[in-house]
Structure 1
Amino acid sequence: MRPNLLNSFFPFLRWFPLSGDQLRGDLIAGITVALVLVPQSMAYAQLAGLPVVYGLYASFMPVIVASLWGSLPQLHTGPVAMLSLMSAAAVLPLAAIGSEDFIVLSVMLALMVGVLRLVLGLLRMGILVNFLSSPVIVGFTNAAALIIGLSQLSKILNVPFPRTDNFVLDLWTVVEQLPQTHLPTLLFAIATFAIILGARRVIPKIPGVLLAVVLTTLVSWGIAFERNQLVPIDALQDQEARELATGYASTARAIDSLGVTTARMNQELRTLINADDPERFNELALLEADLRVLNREMNQRKLANNERQVALHNLRFEHVLSEDGQDLFYRHGKVPDAVDADGHTWRINTVDGDQIKMMGGGAVVGAIPAGLPSFQMPEMRMDFFWTLLPSALVMALIGFMEATSISKAIAAQTRERVDTSKELVGQGLANIVGSFFSSYTVSGSFSRSAVAAKNGAKTGLFAIISAIAVMLVLLFLTPLLYHLPQAVLAVIVMMAVFGLINLRSLVRAWKIERQEAVVGMITFLATLAMAPQLANGILLGAGLAIILFLVRTMKPRTDILGRLPDGSLGGISINKVEPIGKRFMAVRFDGSLNFVNASRFEDVLLEARSQNPQARAVLIDGSGINDVDVTGEERLRDVIETFRDNGVELYFCSLKAQVYETLHRGRLFDLLDESHFIRTRQRALAFMEETFDDDDSTHPPAPAVGPSTPVLG
C-alpha cells in the first residue's frame, strides 16, 4: 500500500517518528487537559441528565478514537456542553431522567449521531454546514449558551428544577423558589466562581477548575456537607407531607405504566403505517386518537408531580430519634416538647416508591462506580428510532460545525491543514466506538483544544494521554470525588458556556445586512421559546435563512443606468439621476438568469420600457449574470420576440464567457446576430449613442438574422 494511501486510512501514522520535543509537548498538554477534562466531563454528564460516571466514560474511548482518525492534531474530543443539553432534550420526552431507559436511549442517540457523521464524512458532505448562515449560528449559540447556563441555576440554589416542554416556565419555577435557597450550597457556588476567576489572574498556569474541585471537595468533606437519610413515608410526622409524598409515588407509578403503554402503542402504530392496508384505516385512526389521549394524560400527571415535588421540597423538617431507634421527621416548629431534635433543618429530596430521601445538607456527586466501561452492544430501541432521528441529524451537524470552527481557529495559529470530511469521519468513529463503551454523544471541545494548543500539543498523542488519565481516575480515584458539591459542577458549566455568548456578531450583522440579522434574532428567540427542544430552533433559523436566500435570488438587484456627476454609471433609483440615453435604455441585472428569477428579468425590462416609451433599444449590462439555465434562455427568447414586435431591439454587453457560450448553444443566435453582443460597456454605450441617439437616426437598423461581424471590444 502506498504511503499516501496508508496515511489516508490511518492518519495517526503522520505523528511518527516522534521527536523528544514533540513527546514532551504532548505529555505536558495531555496532563494539563486531563486536569480540566475530569471535572468538565462530570459536569456535562449531569447536563445530559446522566450519572456523572457517564461523563468519564465519554472521556475515554471516544477521545482515543477521535485523536487517531481526526484531521487536526490539537482538537480534543469528548463531552461538550451544547450537545449534552441537546442529548437530554432529545431523550427527556421518551424516558424519565436518570432512569435506565434514559441511559439506554442516550447511548443509542450517540450511535445514531456517529453513523450520520461517518456517512456524511465518507460522502464528503461537510459542505452541508454551509446551509447554516453565520447569524443563524450566532443566534442559536447565544440562546443555547443561555439555556445551558440557566439550567444550572437550580443546582446553585439547591432547589428542584421540573423539566417540561417549556424551559422558560421551568426556569420561572426555579426563580420562584429563590426564598428557599440553601445558603451553604450558594456559598460553595460563589467560592467556585471566585477560585476560577482568581486562578486565571494570579496563577494562570494552574487550571482554576481543578483547583476549585480540589478545594471545595476537601471543604465539603471536612464540614460533612452531605447529610442524607433514606426513610419510609410513614417516618413523616405530618399529614400534609405524607399525602403529598403518597400522591407523588402513586402518580409516578402511573406515569411509568403509561410510558410502557404508549411505547407499545407507538410500535403498533408504526406497524400499521408500514403495512399500508386501506382496510385497517379505521383501526389506525382509533389508535392515533387513543395515543393522543394517553400522551395528554401522561403530560398532565407529570405536571402534577412537578408541583408536588416543589411543594415537598419547600417543607422544612426536624429530625428526632424515637425511643425504639426509628427516624422520625416533624415539621419545623412542631416537634413535641419532650423530644430533642438534632438541630439540623431537613428537606425532602426525592420520593421513590415507599421510600423518601431526606436531605439535611447539600447535594454532592456521591458514589461513582469504579472501573472501566465494559464492551457491550448498544441497545437499539427501534420504536424510538424515528423519534430520535431528527435530533440526531441536527446534533450531527451542530457538533460537526462546532468541531470545524474550533479546528479552523486553532489551525490558523498552528498553520495545520484541516480536512472537514476527515474530521467528520473521526468524530463519527468516536461516537460509534464510544457507544459500545457506554458513552453518550461527544464532539470537539473549544476550551480543552485551546488548552492543548496553548500547552504545546504537537500530535494527537496528547489526547490519548488525557484519556489514560481518565482511565486512572476510573480505576483508582473515584472515591475521592464523592464529596464534590454538585453546585461546583454547575458553576463549571456556567462559566464554560457563558463565554460562548457573542452579541457583537449580531450587532455587526445588523450593520451589514439587517434581514440576516433579523433571522439571527428570530433564531435566538425561537431557540429560547422552543427549549429544551433546541433542534427546532436552529431548524427554524436555517429554514428562514434559506427562504431569505431564495427571495434574494428571485429578486436580484436591477436598475436603469444613468450617468453620475463624475462620469461613472449608477442606478437612477439610488442616485437620482436621469437615464443615460434618449432613445435607448441601459439596464443592469445582478443575478443568475434561471428558473427562479426569469419572470423577474422580464418584468424589469417591461417596467423599464414603460418608463421610457420612446426608447428604440435596450442595452442589458450582463456583467452581473453568472449563468443561464434552460428556463432563463427560453424566457430571454420570449422577451426578444415581444420587444421586437414592438419595434425595440435588445443588445447585450459585458457577458461572461460561460454565459455567452450557453446562449450560443441554445441557438439564441437564430434571433440575434453577434452584432447584438458587445464585449465592453464603453464600446456598447458608444455604439448605442451613435446608432440610436444620433439626431439623424430616427429608426434603428434592421436586425440582421444571418452571420455578421460582431461589435466587439
Structure 2
Amino acid sequence: MYSSFFSLPPRFLRMDRPLLGREPSRRCWSYSTLTSWLPILSWLPKYKLRYLQMDLLAGLTVGLTTVPQALAYAEVAGLPVQYGLYSAFMGGFIYTFLGTSKDVTLGPTAIMSLLCFSVVGGQPDRAVLLSLLCGVIQAAMALLRLGFLLDFISYPVIKGFTCAAAVTIGFGQVKNILGIQDVPHQFFLEVYYTFLKIPEARVGDVVLGLLCLALLITLMIMKSRLGSDHGSVYSRFARKLVWAIATMRNALVVVAATLVAYSWDACGHPVFTVTGHTAQGLPPFSPPPTSDTTSNGTVVSFTEIIEDFGGGLAVIPLMGLLESIAIAKAFASQNNYRIDANQELLAIGVTNIMGSFVSAYPVTGSFGRTAVNSQTGVCTPAGGIITSVIVLLSLAFLMPAFYYIPKASLAAVIICAVAPMVDYRVVINMWRIRRLDLLPFLVTLLLSFWEVQYGIIGGVAVSGALLLYTTARPKIKVSDHGVLVMELSSGLSFPAVEHLSHIIHTQALQTCPPRSVVLDCHHVSIIDYTVISELRDLLRQFKLRTVKLIFSGLQPSILKVLLAADLEGFRYTDSLDEALQMESVSLLSD
C-alpha cells in the first residue's frame, strides 16, 4: 500500500489541479521541485486511517528496541548513557519530512558509536560538535549532488570494516560481562588486559551477563524458526506472541535485569555493576560548544579541535551515508519502491545538524531497527515520530530507573546486535569468485583493529590501486591473421598508453621483419589527449618501417576525436573484416 506512494521518485509527482495565475508548466515544475525537497508532500495527502494503525504499532515496537540499544551504544561511544537517548529522537522527526524510505530509522548505531569514540575519545562536548560538522558535510554533499563519491568504497572494504568493527565492539563488551575495570580501549591492549584481569571478575556480573546472552540468543533463534502464518487461530496467536516477545527482546531483557539488580540492591547486596547516576530530563536546546577546556584549565580553540578530529572528519560522514543508503536501498528493493540517494544524504545531514542542538552525537540508519520497522508493517515514515516520542518519554520520566540497569545486560545487548555483522561466508565467496578482492578486505580488517579510520582509508587506497592497475593494464588479445590483430578489451586512457605502446613495439615494430597491425577498437569508448599524442608517434614509427597501423570498429565519438586530431597516416575501417581485406589487398599489390 505504501509502496505505491514511492513507486516513482518524488520529483515525478505532479499536482492534480493547477494553481491560479501561473503557467501550467511552471506550476508543475514548482510543485515537483517542492516534493523532491519535502517528500512528505507526496504521501501525506494520501494518508489513511489504516496506515496510522500500522505506523503506531511499528513505532511502538521500534521504540522499545531503540531505548535499550541507545543506552548500550552510548557505552560503545564512551559517553554517559543519556547521550544515546539524546541521539535517538531527532532522526524520527526529521526523517518523516525529508526521508524517501518508509522503513529506515535514524539513530545511534554500533559502527557510528565506535567511530565516534575513535575520534573524540569519549568527550561529550566534542562528540556533539562532531555531529554538527558531520551534518554540515553530509548536507553539503547532498546539495552538491556528491553521492557518487560513495561508489569509491568497494564492497570488500565495507565488509572488512564491518567485520573488524563487530569484533572490536563485541570484545570491548567482555569487560562489562566480567565486571572488570580500568581496561584500555585500544583493541590489542584491551585484549591483553581483559585476559590479564580475569581473576578480578565479579561473579554477579558474569552470571547475569551470561544469562542475558543466553536469553537473547534463545529468543533470536525462536524468531528465526517461526513458520508460516497458517493453522488454527490459537497457533497463529501463539506465533504472533512469540514474534512480538522476540522482537522486543532487548527491552524485556534489560527491564528484567534492572529489576533483578534493584532487588539485590534493596536487600543490601549490590552485587552488580550498574549504570549509575544519569542526567534526568530532556536535553537543553542550544548550539554545540565550539571550544573546549582541558582538565588543567587550558582552552582549546575550534581550529585545534578540528585538527584533533583529523581524518575522522572525512571518514565518519562518509560511513554514515554509506551505511544508511545501503540499508535504504536494500529495503526499498525488498518492498518495491524507490529512494532518492541525494535526498537521503540531506535527511541524514539535517538530522545530525539539528541533533547537535540537543546534545546528540553522529547518527545514521540502523539495520536492526529498520528490519523491525519493516517486519512490523510500517506504512509511512511517520512511524519514526512514535519512536521518537517513546524516547522523549523515557528521557522525561524513566531516567532515575536507568540507575539500576546492569552494565552486563547492556553488554549482552551489544554483543548480540553486532554478532551477525561477522560474516565469514563473504571470505569464502571472495576466495571462490575473485581472490584479488581479499586484499582490500584484509587490509581494511587488520588496519581497523589498530585505528578504525586507518582501516577504511587503507582499504579504499588498495581498492583504488587495483582499479588503477586494471585501467593501466587493459587486456589486449593478440591474434595472427596474416597481420597482427590486437583487440582492446576496454577504454583507452592515459595510464594504459605505455602498456599498449610496449605491446605494439615488442610484437610488431621490433620483430624482423616488422609487421602491420590492426587495432580492433569496438570496445573502446574513451580516449584522451595523451593517447592521441602516443598514437601520433606510433603512426610515425610504422611509416618509417613501411608497415601499417589500421583502426577498425571505432565508435562515432572516438572516430570524431581521431579525425579532429588530424593524425598523419591515419587509416580506419568500419569492421575487422574490412581491415583484414584491405591489408590482404595491399600485400598482393606489393
Report SS of the residue matched to 1:16: helix
- The superposition leaves residues 202-242 of structure 1 with CA deviations (integer Å, 9 ceiling, x where unpaired) of 72222211221122112222222997xxxxxxxxxxxxxxx
Counterpart residue identity of residue 257, structure 2: T
Are 2:495 and 1:602 aligned? no
Contact 1:587-1:619 within 8 A present in 2 as well: yes
Aligned length: 529
Equivalent residue number for residue 204 of structure 1: 243
Are 2:81 and 1:52 aligned? yes
Equivalent residue number for residue 552 of structure 2: 653
Alignment of 1:347-426 (within 5 A): 361-381=271-291, 382=302, 383-426=304-347
Counterpart residue identity of residue 375, structure 2: K
Mapped partners of 1:647, 1:508: distance in 2: 52
Mapped partners of 1:146, 1:140: distance in 2: 10
Report SS of the residue matched to 2:358: coil
Mapped partners of 1:639, 1:172: distance in 2: 62
Report SS of the residue matched to 1:440: coil
Contact 1:161-1:171 within 8 A present in 2 as well: no
Q: 2:569 aligns with which of 660, 664, 671?
A: 671
Alignment of 1:529-608 (within 5 A): 530=450, 533-561=451-479, 579-581=480-482, 584-608=483-507
Measured after TM superposition, the shift of residue 587 of structure 1 is: 1.1
Q: 1:470 aligns with which of 374, 391, 396?
A: 391
Identity of aligned residues (%): 31
**Which 10-residue stretch deviates more, 55-64 or 102-111?**
55-64
Report SS of the residue matched to 1:204: helix
Report SS of the residue matched to 1:586: strand
Equivalent residue number for residue 431 of structure 1: 352
Equivalent residue number for residue 118 of structure 1: 139
Contact 1:36-1:448 within 8 A present in 2 as well: yes
Alignment of 1:613-624 (within 5 A): 613-624=512-523
Equivalent residue number for residue 418 of structure 2: 497
**Which 10-residue stretch deviates more, 552-561 or 4-13?**
4-13
Mapped partners of 1:89, 1:167: distance in 2: 11
RMSD (Å), alpha carbons: 1.9
Alignment of 1:179-578 (within 5 A): 179-200=199-220, 201=222, 203-206=242-245, 207-224=248-265, 361-381=271-291, 382=302, 383-528=304-449, 530=450, 533-561=451-479
Equivalent residue number for residue 524 of structure 2: 625
Unaligned runs of 5+ in 1: 228-343, 345-359, 562-578, 700-713
Question: So what's the TM-score if we normalise by structure 1?
Answer: 0.72
- The superposition leaves residues 244-269 of structure 1 with CA deviations (integer Å, 9 ceiling, x where unpaired) of xxxxxxxxxxxxxxxxxxxxxxxxxx
Query: Larger % of helix: which?
Result: 2
- The superposition leaves residues 394-432 of structure 1 with CA deviations (integer Å, 9 ceiling, x where unpaired) of 000001000011001100112221111111110000000
Mapped partners of 2:326, 2:253: distance in 1: 29
**Which 10-residue stretch deviates more, 169-178 or 677-686?**
677-686
Counterpart residue identity of residue 484, structure 1: I
Contact 1:377-1:436 within 8 A present in 2 as well: yes
Are 2:152 and 1:131 aligned? yes
Contact 1:28-1:455 within 8 A present in 2 as well: yes
Report SS of the residue matched to 2:217: helix
Equivalent residue number for residue 337 of structure 1: none
Measured after TM superposition, the shift of residue 688 of structure 1 is: 3.5
- Go from structure 1 to structure 2 and tell me whether the alpha carbon gap of 1:553 and 1:37 turns closer, same or farther (over 3 Å shift): same
Contact 1:225-1:361 within 8 A present in 2 as well: no
Mapped partners of 2:428, 2:522: distance in 1: 32
- Go from structure 1 to structure 2 and tell me whether the alpha carbon gap of 1:552 and 1:161 turns closer, same or farther (over 3 Å shift): farther
- Go from structure 1 to structure 2 and tell me whether the alpha carbon gap of 1:225 and 1:507 turns closer, same or farther (over 3 Å shift): farther
Report SS of the residue matched to 1:651: strand
Question: So what's the TM-score if we normalise by structure 2?
Answer: 0.86
Mapped partners of 1:399, 1:71: distance in 2: 17
Are 2:167 and 1:146 aligned? yes
Contact 1:197-1:208 within 8 A present in 2 as well: no
Report SS of the residue matched to 2:362: coil
Measured after TM superposition, the shift of residue 542 of structure 1 is: 0.6
Mapped partners of 1:107, 1:169: distance in 2: 27
Q: 1:23 aligns with which of 31, 52, 75?
A: 52
Mapped partners of 2:205, 2:543: distance in 1: 83
Contact 2:130-2:361 within 8 A present in 1 as well: yes
Equivalent residue number for residue 130 of structure 2: 109
Contact 1:226-1:361 within 8 A present in 2 as well: no
Q: 2:195 aligns with which of 170, 175, 189?
A: 175
Contact 1:195-1:211 within 8 A present in 2 as well: no
- The superposition leaves residues 584-629 of structure 1 with CA deviations (integer Å, 9 ceiling, x where unpaired) of 2111222322222212211110011167533541111112322110
Are 2:142 and 1:88 aligned? no
Mapped partners of 1:449, 1:225: distance in 2: 38
Measured after TM superposition, the shift of residue 71 of structure 1 is: 2.2
- Go from structure 1 to structure 2 and tell me whether the alpha carbon gap of 1:644 and 1:37 turns closer, same or farther (over 3 Å shift): same
- The superposition leaves residues 526-546 of structure 1 with CA deviations (integer Å, 9 ceiling, x where unpaired) of 111x2xx31111001111111
Larger CA Rg, structure 1 vs 2: 1
Counterpart residue identity of residue 4, structure 1: S
Mapped partners of 2:513, 2:267: distance in 1: 91
Contact 1:196-1:211 within 8 A present in 2 as well: no
Equivalent residue number for residue 37 of structure 1: 66
Counterpart residue identity of residue 375, structure 1: F
**Which 10-residue stretch deviates more, 497-506 or 640-649?**
497-506
Equivalent residue number for residue 306 of structure 1: none
Equivalent residue number for residue 578 of structure 2: 683
Measured after TM superposition, the shift of residue 86 of structure 1 is: 0.8
Contact 2:91-2:105 within 8 A present in 1 as well: no
Mapped partners of 2:278, 2:379: distance in 1: 33
Measured after TM superposition, the shift of residue 689 of structure 1 is: 4.1
Equivalent residue number for residue 40 of structure 2: 12
Equivalent residue number for residue 3 of structure 1: 31
Mapped partners of 2:147, 2:427: distance in 1: 25
**Which 10-residue stretch deviates more, 377-386 or 439-448?**
377-386
- Go from structure 1 to structure 2 and tell me whether the alpha carbon gap of 1:84 and 1:412 turns closer, same or farther (over 3 Å shift): same
Mapped partners of 2:338, 2:512: distance in 1: 59
- The superposition leaves residues 70-109 of structure 1 with CA deviations (integer Å, 9 ceiling, x where unpaired) of 22121100000101011111112xxxx4xxxx11111011
Alignment of 1:62-101 (within 5 A): 62-92=91-121, 97=122
Mapped partners of 1:488, 1:72: distance in 2: 32
Report SS of the residue matched to 1:619: strand
Mapped partners of 1:677, 1:616: distance in 2: 17
Mapped partners of 1:392, 1:14: distance in 2: 34
- The superposition leaves residues 525-576 of structure 1 with CA deviations (integer Å, 9 ceiling, x where unpaired) of 1111x2xx31111001111111121122111112312xxxxxxxxxxxxxxx
Equivalent residue number for residue 3 of structure 2: none
Contact 2:509-2:542 within 8 A present in 1 as well: no
- Go from structure 1 to structure 2 and tell me whether the alpha carbon gap of 1:681 and 1:503 turns closer, same or farther (over 3 Å shift): farther
- The superposition leaves residues 162-197 of structure 1 with CA deviations (integer Å, 9 ceiling, x where unpaired) of 335x42122211112222221211111111122222
Mapped partners of 2:172, 2:182: distance in 1: 8
